[in-house]
Chain A
Amino acid sequence: MPQTVTKFATCAGCACVCDDLELHANDARIFEAKNACEMGRCWFLERPISKVEATINGKPASLSDAIDRAAMILYEADSPLVFGLGETTAEAQREAVALAERLDATLDTETSLTHGTMELAAQLGGKVTGTLGEIRNRADLIIYWGANPARTHPRHLERYSVHSTGKFRTRADRTMVVVDVRESETAKEADIFLRIRPETDFEALTALRCLVRGQRIVCERLNETGLSLDQLRDLAERLKRARYGVIFVGQGLLQTRGLHMNASAATSLGIALNATGRFLVMPLRTPGNIGGADAMLDYATGYPFGVNFSRGYPRYNPGEFTAADLLARQEVDAALIVGVNAVKRLPDSARTQLDRIPTIVIDREIRNATVSIATAPAGISASGTVYRNDKIPLGFRPPLTSTRPTDEDVLRRIREAVERKPETYPTASARMTILE
């Protein structure tokens, strides 16, 4: 078999989206991924591809039958949900928005179950962020809070932060701090590790902000965090001395008690620190292209996730229009899922409902669903655009080809099938009256 070498390939094994991989492949598979981390190697190499292209009710079906059936289910539903989108290309996300809109559906992504709390914090008080090269070039204080990149973003330290050599900084110039509830692999590399009690992040971050701003804090409350006043004072002094600092916040902060108030506490601290130096606060997003989904939804609807089209135009309300809540309240009567990993993040109450309603799953594998369509995996055999953790877009360089359709193709064909059916359009009376 002829072999190909693809240089500067882009990996979406995690949200780092490293683009310096060298892939060796033959017609059938990738057998080597140079420069890849363990997650990257899994992403590129361990890719069983199911032989069946589509199923309806678990039985093999043709692609066109599956698309027609999917279109019929979604067309007939009163309150369909389009969900997922974290593992696909920006081009497919664009099609998903168009389809959700056409269906007057609710559109939600796994952002609502992950770093969506950071988006809410931004809506509350703003956000201070940057591209990863700025961290590499400038950061002298790097804090990982509730994050374990050694496990979740294996090349983060090496390529973008602590261990990288940038224009103005090397490892020797940087202080690395880890704040976590346990001594993780990442914590072992830190200059300073602060073990915090679970679910006290908000308190610790708020105490730090008070210390940074010279405000009084109640020491008894501090005890709940498991951190001493001296520890926090020391960290506060380092924060103030930093010329260019960053807090990378992980799911351990963003999805634990406090949720968006934790994110807001981290953001507020970061904003306050721009009075003494420059400071950023950035989430470590979950694998794939979820940053692209945020960007796409923002520009097409104005909102980053939890968007409802039932009145013919986008409305937003986390809690009301987010997948986990809608499903738990049994307000959804059909679901289109693009990429199954998002489903794994749903709470049981939501997943139970998915078992009760017709579902369509578009994924690289055949899954347990009313209609399942297997597509060409993005970055492996489908081209397109992926957004990095810092929302910088990159093109995929897929080394393989596939006879499978892409997610984008399938979503477009479903929409076209829906459009062939009789249609009514929302009228002006659908507009919500906003009481000022």
Chain B
Amino acid sequence: MLRITGGTVYDPANGVDGVVKDIVLDGGKVVADGVGGRTIDATGMIVMPGGVDVHTHVAGAALNFARAMIPEEHRRALPFLRSKTLRAGVGGTTPTTYATGYLYAGMGWTTVNEAAVPVISAKHTHEELHDTPIVDKATCVLMGNNEVVLDLLEQGEFERAKQVVAWYLWAAKGYGIKCVNPGGVAAWKWGKDAKQLSDVVEGYKKITAGKIVSSMARIVDELKIPHPMHLHCNNLGAPGNVSTTIETMKSLESHRAHMAHLQYHAYGGNDWESIRSEAPAIAEYFNAHKNLTTDAGAVLFGNTITLSADGPWQYLLYQLTGKKWGNIDVENETGCGVVPYVYREKNIVNAVQWATGLELLLLIDDPWRVSLTTDHPNGASFWRYPEILQLLMDATFRKEEFAKLPEKAKARTCLAELTREYTLREIAIITSAGPARTLGLPQKGHLGIGADADVAIYHLNKDIAKMFSHPRYVIKGGEIVVEDGDIRMTVEGRGFITKPSYDPAIEEYLKPLFQQQYSMSFENYPVEMHRIPHPEITEV
């Protein structure tokens, strides 16, 4: 048992907003009361539910492909020295698996969602997650360019497509369904893209990107997957893509969708010269449509590596930057592109991107529907989240940072006019309560009785970035894992899995297709259950 006394608690899911109260933890859960055990005196500290990352890339073939390409980044990254408690590793733009767990926990985050898993290499993703300590893990399975599904939609076989999606999700031991540039990655295998929703996907006669989006949203809803369709829209990163994004949101009608890294989809202008933020237009539509959630995909200046299943976009980025380019085509399912990138304050495009992410966070009026992310490692590494929290909570600091932007860029954003400052309650929402609700994890993101005993405790500090970078305590599953900035012990995280119901006959349909289209046996394809330590299965 563990009692946290005297802390100022921010637990927005339970309507607790800066109230001094005790939190009691026992058996890995929040409980009403108890006796014995250790007491933490949190007087003068703030107590929040552990952070939840709704969209990050921390494990899998694509990320690992990126890691292998950038020894120069690892060399100047924060080294993790092995100790009695810690495994060795490196931090930096793409931390190694053990370091990933330490870095997340080290700033108070206790749950992460790996947002892009190809099913055929899902065993690898789970292998990395196995070696990512402390945090609990969910995964989203890539389905928006799955050719077995696309072929069925082309033939108008919606019901069968739904069964196939359900089968794949369980085969991957995944949690949610992700669509990346629907149709665009399949088209990339023919050297093309699908930028507009009306584009017929290369290699097909009828099916359009828009049809894939609406069908997949319907499939996810009809399968009752706890997390909405996780959508990386078409036309990412391009000037003027605001129209595609709004059109996509419209096409969803009343279906649920999580609009991933919205910052990258909120640009106006006709080209790189004229790019501007269209965050107000996006936010206006988004605010009025409660079926949608999103995450910021905010950008911070500095070195990083971009990686995405969006192969055609990454190829364009390679052409723009002339840096090294990595590409993996994944049979029947998806792709991946990798390009190192530097966001520069003095670059107009980058300055607009920086402002757009913040604008979205400030203009979306319901904090429950927008989560804090950087689309790690794309916009910046996740361990830089505290810098964004400071920008959100301190308008004066934001103004100072804004002043450093090039004049041209300043005119392309309304950030200077936004005076909103996030409260601690709102911070607890966008970092924990909101993403937990978006993911459909009722045991996460709050401190009510029965919630998972994941707690972050911070020393109140005027320096907001410092405060959130160095929690006084972090508790995971009732164990104190961080004390005074040091990892004191590590625990193994759990794996969240969704088991949708599907007609077993679908396997007989898939077997001959596997024989024809896949290079591995159907029987060896699904991820075996033993690969996920501490699984937590939601049957729907």
Contacts and interface: CB of A to CB of B under 8 A. Distances in A.
A101 interface: yes
B68 A294 contact: yes
A130 B328 contact: yes
Q: Identify which of B80, B81, B92, B331 gathers the most chain A CB atoms within 10 Å of its CB.
A: B331
Given A123-B69, A159-B519, A129 B328 contact: yes
B315 interface: yes
Given A299-B59, A300-B98, A425-B81, A127 B69 contact: yes
Contacts of A393: 121, 123-124, 127
A420 to B, nearest CB: 14
A138 B524 contact: no
A21 to B, nearest CB: 10
A126 B88 contact: no
A18 to B, nearest CB: 9
Nearest to B331: A133
Interface stretch (B284-292, B319-327, B350-358, B454-462): B319-327
B346 interface: no
B234 interface: no
Interface stretch (B70-78, B467-475, B488-496): B70-78
B89 A391 contact: no
Nearest to A90: B127
B157 to A, nearest CB: 17
B432 to A, nearest CB: 27
A423 B71 CA distance: 30
A94 B202 CA distance: 41
A301 B97 CA distance: 8
A56 to B, nearest CB: 29
A322 to B, nearest CB: 14
Interface in B118-151: 120-121, 123-124, 127-128, 131, 147
Contact of B189 (A129, A134, A294, A313): A134
B329 A278 contact: yes
Nearest to B130: A94
A300 B97 contact: yes
Nearest to B522: A8
B88 to A, nearest CB: 5
Contacts of A277: 191
Interface string B336-349: 00100000000000
B330 interface: yes
A122 B326 contact: yes
A298 to B, nearest CB: 5
A344 interface: no
A319 interface: no
Contacts of A428: 81
B79 interface: yes
Interface string A234-275: 000000000110000000000000000000000000010010
A271 to B, nearest CB: 6
Contact of B131 (A94, A102, A166, A167): A94
Q: Identify which of A90, A119, A280, A301 gathers the most chain B CB atoms within 10 Å of its CB.
A: A301
Contact of B82 (A8, A313, A388, A434): A313
A155 B419 CA distance: 65
Contact of A131 (B92, B326, B519): B519
A243 B190 contact: yes
A313 B519 contact: no
Please report whether the interface of chain A is mostly helix, strand, loop or mixed according to DSSP.
mixed
Interface string A149-160: 000000000011
Interface residues of A, number: 72
B329 A130 contact: yes
A68 B70 CA distance: 39
B81 A123 contact: no
Interface in B24-74: 59, 61, 64-65, 67-72, 74
A261 B329 CA distance: 24
A425 B528 CA distance: 37
A316 B81 contact: no
A160 B519 contact: yes
Contacts, number: 207
A295 B97 CA distance: 12
B325 A436 contact: no
Interface in A104-142: 119, 122-134, 136-138
A58 interface: no
B519 A425 contact: no
B68 A304 contact: yes
B517 A167 contact: yes
B90 interface: yes
A73 B125 CA distance: 35
Contact of B75 (A138, A394, A434): A434
Nearest to A167: B517
A165 B83 CA distance: 53
Nearest to B95: A302
A391 B61 contact: yes
A395 interface: yes
Contacts of B61: 295, 391
B417 interface: no
A421 interface: no
Contacts of A165: 516
A299 B82 contact: no
Contact of B121 (A134, A315, A392): A392
B532 to A, nearest CB: 14
A8 B331 contact: no
A131 B64 contact: no
A160 to B, nearest CB: 6
A44 interface: no
A377 to B, nearest CB: 19
B190 A278 contact: yes
A313 B87 CA distance: 9
Nearest to B516: A167
Contact of A316 (B71, B98, B324, B331): B71
A217 interface: no
B517 A314 contact: no
A94 B325 CA distance: 28
Given A131-B519, A299-B64, A394-B520, A126 B325 contact: yes
Given A295-B124, A298-B67, A298-B68, A126 B189 contact: no
A8 B326 contact: no
Nearest to A102: B82
A312 B82 contact: yes
A176 B71 CA distance: 35
Contact of A19 (B64, B87, B328, B524): B524
A431 B81 contact: yes
A370 interface: no
A312 B76 contact: no
A309 interface: yes
Contacts of A347: none
A29 interface: no
A98 interface: yes
A19 B520 CA distance: 6
B512 to A, nearest CB: 12
A10 interface: yes
Contacts of B315: 274
A362 B72 CA distance: 33
A166 B517 contact: yes
Given A133-B519, A300-B96, A314-B79, 4 more contacts: A20-B521, A131-B121, A137-B332, A277-B191
12 contacts: A8-B521, A119-B68, A122-B68, A126-B318, A130-B331, A133-B331, A133-B332, A167-B516, A278-B190, A299-B127, A300-B131, A304-B68
Query: Ordered nearest first, which 9 A-B pairs have the shortest CB separation?
Result: A133-B331, A130-B329, A126-B324, A313-B79, A133-B519, A312-B81, A302-B74, A126-B325, A393-B123
Interface of A: 7-8, 10, 19-20, 90, 94, 98, 101-102, 119, 122-134, 136-138, 159-160, 165-167, 243-244, 271, 274, 277-278, 280, 294-295, 298-304, 309, 311-316, 385, 387-388, 391-395, 425-428, 430-432, 434, 436
